[in-house]
Amino acid sequence: MSGNFYLKPMITATSQDIPTIIKILAPAFVNNRSVNRCVKQDGKRLQRIENQIAYVSRISIRNQQAFLNSDKTGAVLCSQSNRKKASIWDDLFYVFKVSGLRMGFQLMKREKLIKQFHPQIPYCHLWFIGVDASLQGQGIGSKLLAEIMGLCNKQKLPIYLETSTLANLHFYNRSGFELYKQIKLPMDDFDLYFFRWMPV
């Protein structure tokens, strides 16, 4: 995904949209096993989840790969494999505001394992997609995903993602994604499902 994408009803998010993105995504992922695996489980758990989304948002926005629908009730956060990732300041924020130091080292190993199942060619990684809780089930998420797929298709970029939520399996299958790997990582107590979509 290269360039600054804009296609109604999807708009490219800016740093001013981060509070909106957090408001959309944090409630949707508050009980997500993958998200909570990366968040220190203490009295600040909910704030840490919001910080995690802020961390991903900043990286996606920096690379012009964070999107909202036109009325800002749905959000998508992506990354492109051959673009700049997190800075040292991003990672320090993550360690102190999201994971904690001890878990931070564990997550580095976890991320390395996950990347073994990603391709060497350029691809789009779908980090987060979510819709305002009061509007779920109205096709907003499906429309956003379809637009991301359309953008990637123009650039001939495959899309890769992971989910730990069983309810998501049907969503991605019916959207044209292929489940190509299911694995329980050594540090997890749940299965992780790897999906991919190839451009036509």
pLDDT, one tens digit per residue, over 73-122 is 999 999 998 887 889 999 999 999 999 998 988 898 999 999 999 999 99
Q: Are 158 and 199 in contact (CB under 8 A)?
A: yes
Beta strands in 8-86 (DSSP E): 10-12, 66-69, 74-80
Mind listing the pLDDT tens digit for each residue in 13-29? 999 999 999 999 999 99
CATH classification code of 10-197:
3.40.630.30
Asked if residue 1 has pLDDT above 80, the reply is: no
> Measured between alpha carbons, how far is residue 166 from residues 119, 127, 163 in Å?
24, 17, 8
Give burial (CB, 10 Å; 0-12/13-18/19+) of 184.
exposed
| Residue showing tokens 């758990």 | 45
Mind listing the pLDDT tens digit for each residue in 156-171? 999 999 999 999 999 9
Beta strands in the chain (DSSP E): 10-12, 66-69, 74-80, 124-131, 159-163, 178-183, 192-197
Mind listing the pLDDT tens digit for each residue in 167-183? 999 999 999 999 999 99
| Residue showing tokens 């203490």 | 42
CA 161 to the chain's CA centroid: 8
> pTM for this structure?
0.91
Q: Are 22 and 60 in contact (CB under 8 A)?
A: no
Percent of the chain with pLDDT over 70: 96
